[in-house]
DNA sequence: TATGAATGAGTGTTCATTCAT
DNA sequence: CATGAATGAACACTCATTCAT
């Protein structure tokens, strides 16, 4: 019941924020879209930023859970990365509105210095870094600066999504997983 | 004289914005830092956003000019990319405050839909894409989805800078140019 | 309830504006006088000018309604004008603050070119002109340039009120209806 | 020389203010129109309001001088008023821009309570009142409330001009002097 | 006397958040 | 738990005026 209302507000927020941007979205616009009163929003979120954080949280938890699953599985690191890319790009193709928010609002400046979004967001390249490190340990890829390459991979993913959304070419994402894996496969194979 | 004042305001803005974020920077804080009156700012910029745009403009023009130089030179595309990465990372090491702004404020939501910053920003991956395409034509690298790889490269660059700045580890940037070139070198070499 | 608050703001505005002039009246002064927060004003009026327009609207609608009543009644045109003058001057004697605003703020320059006040204000001389025209048709007064005489009458009314208010001699208004009717009666009688 | 520059600024001000209204006229727009620097304006006028006051002063002095001339002449009061009306309406037809300013800016709210314009403006109905009073003494017109009728006349004049300018029908002013004199002639003749 | 860059006080309006109902 | 009217702090920007040159 409680989660129901929270979810309704999240969905409404995604709709409005993806269209107007978080900065230009007013609390009452979210309320109207969600079919509740403004006050109700504040029964489920303590402030506007928290809604945005929640949107990121939901998406990022999905990715992190998937990455953790992958960590515990056997298999080649680059296959795992390939699976992750497929998963991520598919989610975005499925719900481009959320994708747009992930791309555009990631750096939204929080009033307090605790930026929950960046907190979550850091976990992804960290997981990727770990994946690479373990892959190298198992001799699946060459040694490298894992953190640096992990961050690059994470950045590359975002670069692709950014371009796809900016130019309204979601189709590009369909081949993106293959191309990127290919790039990193050759780039990281044992010499 | 006129450019002097404009430059002073730019410098002051970089200092304040990198510390507090553009959104949380007040016009009078910039004025104070620049040692001028608020009104003076508006003799040189027509609004606050224009200051941010100018900061990006200055930086991006440097990069674009460098990329154009590279385009017209002989040499292997990956050497060119290597040079560009060195140039970019060095600039950031030299002036991390600007780097911070480039990373954090890139997506700042503009009131009018004409986002001058994104306009400039799109040119970089476009140039990279062009570089890759020409390199492929000359047989220096394999064929690939140039736009996708160009965007990935651009994203990778940003991912690295983001992590470096977030974790306050500028040192990582010193090897970043080499590592990234290496990654793409293998990733894109003729099979 | 909603109209209550709007009315409270109107009353407060009359008080403050008549004292300091619209131009020198700050939104927070109105709010304070009305016993509400500044923001509340903007829940009932979309901007400061709209408050002034509303003050004129209320007053002018009273006059226009009265003039329309008169139009539909039988009787001599100059008796009708006499009644209108009495009505108008009485209203001003009853509430001189509003009178002061009507006189002083009538020409307030609006930012957009649509000056709602002038729109309303033009209707009064138009009605007077119509009254004169009909009176002439019925042979109650001589033929004349109705528009010109209508405007003169409207101007004369304002001239009288202006002087009465400027010199703080509201008493003059008591005889004004009679004197003016007398003037126009002789001035317009059939030769 | 000094008067030359002052006059140039007055002329420029008339041009700009009649177009945009005093409230919307910026000091630098006047300067540009006059072909001088902003600072120069302040060598000839101590502030912006003083320019407007000066415009009124010049016009009103012309009228007052004319009225004083008339006072000292022999003749019927209504002939004198006729002459005055002709003079006034002719001036407005000759230079409608000034007429527009006289009508629109008369009530401009001054920051200090000393409104020089209203000070001047009051003198006109006072002179008219005096004229009427003297006429009555000489038995040229009936007794009446001179102040009230003087103010009415002054108001009537303004009403006519206002309508003429609002509707862009300066032609109406050509017959206005005759019509108005006629009205007052009959309205004030000895019974 | 002319200039025009610099000044900074001044204010309408917004909108996230609250809380009495 | 839902409501939505009330709140009031916050801020970009303007523009008349100044004064060093």
The per-residue pLDDT for range B28-39, each reduced to its tens digit, is 999 999 999 999
C166/D109 touch (CB, cutoff 8 Å), yes or no: no
What CATH number is associated with residue D93?
Answer: 1.10.357.10
* Structure-block tokens of residue A127: 């997981």
C163's CB contacts (< 8 A; 6+ apart) are C169, C172, D125, D147, D148, D151
Q: Is residue D136 part of a domain?
A: yes
Does C61 share its domain with C21?
Answer: no
Which residues from chain C sit within 8 angstroms of residue D162, using beta carbons? 151, 155
Per-residue pLDDT of chain A (191 residues; tens, 9 = 90+): 677 899 999 999 999 999 999 989 999 999 999 999 999 999 999 999 999 999 999 999 999 999 999 999 999 999 999 999 999 999 999 999 999 999 989 888 776 667 888 888 999 999 999 999 999 999 999 899 999 999 999 999 999 999 999 888 999 999 999 999 988 888 777 76
Strand E within 7 A of C48 CB? yes
* Structure-block tokens of residue D74: 């022999």
Does A90 share its domain with A129?
Answer: yes
Distances (CA, A) of D70 to D66, D67, D78, D131: 6, 5, 11, 9
Angle, in degrees to the nearest 10, between helices D77-94 and D96-104: 110
The per-residue pLDDT for range A26-75, each reduced to its tens digit, is 999 999 999 999 999 999 999 999 999 999 999 999 999 999 999 999 99
The CA-based dihedral angle spanning residues C160, C163, C166, C172, taken in that order and rounded to the nearest 10 degrees = -70
What CATH number is associated with residue A8?
Answer: 1.10.10.60
Does B150 share its domain with B84?
Answer: yes
Does D16 share its domain with D75?
Answer: no
Does D67 share its domain with D146?
Answer: yes
The per-residue pLDDT for range C107-163, each reduced to its tens digit, is 887 766 678 888 889 999 999 999 999 999 999 999 999 999 999 999 999 999 999
Distance CA B186, CA A187 (A): 4
DSSP A37-64: -HHHHHHH-SSHHHHHHHHHHHHHHHHH
Residue D33 confidence class, pLDDT cut points 50, 70, 90:
very high
Range of the domain at C105: 49-188
Residue D54 confidence class, pLDDT cut points 50, 70, 90:
very high
C82-101 residues near strand E (Cβ < 7 Å): none
Q: Is residue D170 part of a domain?
A: yes
Q: Which residue out of B126, B156, B158, B174 would a mutagenesis test of the A interface target, given it has the greatest number of A Cβ atoms within 10 Å?
A: B156
Strand E within 7 A of C23 CB? no
Does B31 share its domain with B65?
Answer: no
Domain count, chain A: 2
Q: Is residue D83 part of a domain?
A: yes
Decide if pLDDT at C1 tops 70: no
* Structure-block tokens of residue D17: 């203010």
Positive or negative, the CA dihedral C78, C83, C89, C92 is: negative
**CB proximity under 8 Å: A 155-184 to B:** 155-160, 162-163, 166, 172, 175-176, 179-180, 182-184
Does B60 share its domain with B152?
Answer: yes
Percent of chain C with pLDDT over 90: 79
Q: Where in D38-186 does DSSP place strands (E)?
A: none
Chains C and B touch (3+ CB pairs under 8 A): no
Contact call for residues D16 and D30 (beta carbons, < 8 A): yes
Distance CA C181, CA C190 (A): 15
C164's CB contacts (< 8 A; 6+ apart) are C92, C170, C172, C173, C176
Does B90 share its domain with B183?
Answer: yes
Distance CA A8, CA A23 (A): 20
Does C58 share its domain with C110?
Answer: yes
Does A78 share its domain with A118?
Answer: yes
Distance CA C10, CA C61 (A): 15
Does B98 share its domain with B124?
Answer: yes
Among D26, D45, D64, give the residue marking a domain's end.
D45
Which residues from chain D sit within 8 angstroms of residue C176, using beta carbons? 148
Distance CA A109, CA A49 (A): 10
Per-residue pLDDT of chain B (191 residues; tens, 9 = 90+): 667 899 999 999 999 999 999 989 999 999 999 999 999 999 999 999 999 999 999 999 999 999 999 999 999 999 999 999 999 999 999 999 999 999 989 888 776 667 888 888 999 999 999 999 999 999 999 899 999 999 999 999 999 999 999 889 999 999 999 999 988 888 777 76
Does B78 share its domain with B6?
Answer: no
The answer to whether B188 contacts chain A (CB < 8 Å) is: yes
């Amino acid at each position: 019941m409680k989660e129901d209302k929270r979810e309704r507000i999240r969905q409404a927020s995604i709709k409005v924020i993806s269209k107007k941007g978080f900065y230009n979205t007013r609390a009452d616009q979210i309320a109207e879209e969600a079919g509740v009163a403004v006050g109700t929003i504040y029964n489920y979120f303590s402030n506007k930023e928290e809604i945005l954080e929640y949107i990121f949280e939901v998406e990022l938890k999905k990715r992190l859970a998937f990455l953790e699953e992958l960590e515990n599985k056997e298999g080649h690191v680059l296959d795992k990365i390939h699976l992750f890319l497929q998963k991520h790009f598919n989610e975005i193709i499925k719900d481009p509105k959320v994708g747009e928010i992930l791309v555009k609002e990631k750096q939204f400046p929080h009033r307090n210095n605790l930026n929950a979004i960046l907190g979550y967001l850091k976990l992804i390249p960290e997981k990727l870094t770990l994946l690479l490190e373990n892959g190298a340990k198992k001799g699946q890829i060459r040694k490298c600066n894992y953190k640096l390459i992990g961050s690059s991979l994470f950045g590359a993913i975002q670069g692709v999504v950014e371009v796809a959304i900016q130019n309204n070419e979601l189709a590009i994402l369909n081949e993106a997983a293959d191309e990127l894996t290919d790039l990193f496969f050759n780039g990281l194979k044992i010499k």
